[in-house]
Amino acid sequence: MFDSLDRLPPDPILGSMAAYRADADPAKVDLGVGVYRDERGETPILAAVKRAEASVLAHQTTKSYVSSIGNAQFNRALEELTLGVEHPALAGGQVRTIQAPGGCGALRLGAELIKAADARSVVHVSTPTWANHTALIGGSGLKLANYVYYDAARGGLNFEGMMAALGKLPSGSVVLLQACCHNPTGVDLTDAQWRALLPIFKRGALLPFIDMAYQGLGRGIAEDTFGIRLFAAELPEVLVAVSCSKNFGLYRERTGALHVIAASAGAADKALSQLARIARTIYSMPPDHGAAIVQEIMGNDALRTEWLGEVGVMRARMTGLRNEFVQQLSASCPQRDFACITRQFGMFSLLGINTAQVHAMRVAHHVYMTDDSRINIAGLRAGNLAYVARAVAQVLRERAQ
Ligand SMILES: Cc1ncc(COP(=O)(O)O)c(C=O)c1O
């Protein structure tokens, strides 16, 4: 049976990771993989996570099953982190949450829920979007389409184009948005732009499906949820896929959740019952450990304060790196304006170089990024910023587009 299968090429990111590992050049720089790195180039376990984990292990008395919906206290803590404790949808009993195996699991659960409600739904994603969105959502069988988003010439948002595209969607369409730290562009909606989108969603009865994988790493914990909180207060239905991989550094523990905000408590209960069935038919129960750690942090004032401080450090490091990198780029490459990188948020930006130039960065300079020229800002550090900027300048000179 298996011999008849086609052998698939390796995933491009995993392939680039392997090439980076095999590269013996001491100057090599990995800007490809989407994980946070500190000044030493490491992806550390947060101190708050270490402490919470010790407490979980000391107090845990059983490894028996939890449930398909997961850890109820974790789910509640994430609802409050996403929506704020006093959100009207929480007060109105319209929010239900299912714990998920990471943000990816949450995205797939959301897609399966949409399919259960209406299998003809089309999910509209930004151009460009994170490659896995297409795989995770399309894998459910739902159709995908694109809407205008990134303005490559300015390294900003084509907001007029986006509004016009969303304004034309058939009633009931699903629109996938990213709450903050847009992957791969770093280009986020401002509060005013979220407000301006609201009437379009109301008029078109569009369903916002909001992916939040970087809460706290853009403008701040509450600031990064502006659009979610606004839409959840003003629209009858919203789906939010949350990941704890980056802001809690829990990547391999597969920790996340899907929030459903429905028009009534009854509708929310129906959606949750479907989600429990969906989870049951895919993986049955989510992994417990990461959620237990998050629950511990959120339920303990000292741990929570420590965690907020650590998220603040990650955020400040990336803002600082963006500014320093742009300074180095302007020094090495004055003919091109890279200032848009300082106006973007989170871990990613697109350098705006072509595939041949990305290849030259890898082969001639040992600097690794994805083929679309997405760089992980956190892969930069004081010791390699100037080197990467000089490499970009040289590649642009030698291989003009
Ligand atoms: C935009 C976006 N959504 C969701 C995720 C989900 O991550 P995970 O499944 O590791 O929690 C990621 C991770 O890179 C992401 O970049």
Q: How confident is residue 13, by pLDDT bands cut at 50, 70 and 90?
A: confident
Q: How confident is residue 18, by pLDDT bands cut at 50, 70 and 90?
A: confident
User: Is the model's pLDDT at 270 over the cut of 80?
Assistant: yes
Mean pLDDT of 307-316: 98
CA of 258 to the centre of ligand 1 (A): 13
pLDDT of residue 10: 79
pLDDT of residue 115: 98
Torsion angles phi and psi, residue 176, rounded to 5: -85, 125
CA of 390 to the centre of ligand 1 (A): 31
Beta pairing partners, 220: none
How far apart (Å, rounded) are the C-alpha atoms in residues 91 and 161? 36
pLDDT of residue 400: 77
Kindly give the pairing relationship between strand 122-127 and strand 174-178. Answer: parallel
How far apart (Å, rounded) are the C-alpha atoms in residues 333 and 226? 36
Mean pLDDT of 241-249: 98
Residues 180 and 188: beta-carbon distance below 8 Å: yes
User: Is the model's pLDDT at 134 over the cut of 90?
Assistant: yes
Could you please report the per-residue DSSP string of 209-254?
A: EEEES-TTSSS-TTGGGHHHHHHHHHSS-EEEEEE-TTTS--GGG-
Which atom of ligand 1 is closest in space to residue 129's alpha carbon? 1
Q: How confident is residue 399, by pLDDT bands cut at 50, 70 and 90?
A: confident
CA of 393 to the centre of ligand 1 (A): 31
| Contact residues for 87 (Cβ-Cβ < 8 A; gap 6+) | 95, 229, 232, 233
Q: Which residue has a Cα nearest atom 6 of ligand 1?
A: 103
How far apart (Å, rounded) are the C-alpha atoms in residues 351 and 360? 14
Chain-centre distance of CA 154, in angstroms? 23
Mean pLDDT of 194-218: 98
What percent of the chain stands above pLDDT 70?
A: 100
Catalytic residue annotation: 130, 211, 246
What percent of the chain stands above pLDDT 90?
A: 95
pLDDT of residue 313: 98
Beta carbon of 130 within 6 Å of any ligand 1 atom: yes
Ligand 1, from 132, 176, 248, 283: best to mutate by most atoms within 8 Å of Cβ?
Answer: 132
User: Is the model's pLDDT at 401 over the cut of 70?
Assistant: no
Mean pLDDT of 308-312: 98
Residues 357 and 373: beta-carbon distance below 8 Å: yes
Q: Please name which of 395, 387, 390, 385 lies closest in space to residue 363, comparing C-alpha atoms.
A: 395
Mean pLDDT of 132-157: 97
Ligand 1, from 99, 123, 130, 370: best to mutate by most atoms within 8 Å of Cβ?
Answer: 130
Half-sphere exposure of 301 (CA within 13 A, CB side): 0
Beta carbon of 249 within 6 Å of any ligand 1 atom: no
- Would you state the structure tokens that stand for residue 115, as one six-digit string? 């399919």
Mean pLDDT of 391-397: 95
Q: Which residue has a Cα nearest atom 12 of ligand 1?
A: 213
Which of 11-15, 22-26, 110-114, 252-256 shows the lowest per-residue confidence on average (mean pLDDT)? 11-15
- 265-282 helix and 102-117 helix, angle to the nearest 10 degrees: 120
How far apart (Å, rounded) are the C-alpha atoms in residues 200 and 388? 42
Which atom of ligand 1 is closest in space to residue 34's alpha carbon? 14
Beta carbon of 100 within 6 Å of any ligand 1 atom: no
pLDDT of residue 201: 98
Give the Cα-Cα-Cα angle 153, 137, 116 (nearest 5 degrees).
140
pLDDT of residue 12: 78
Q: How confident is residue 262, by pLDDT bands cut at 50, 70 and 90?
A: very high
| Type of residue at 230 | L
How far apart (Å, rounded) are the C-alpha atoms in residues 68 and 60? 19
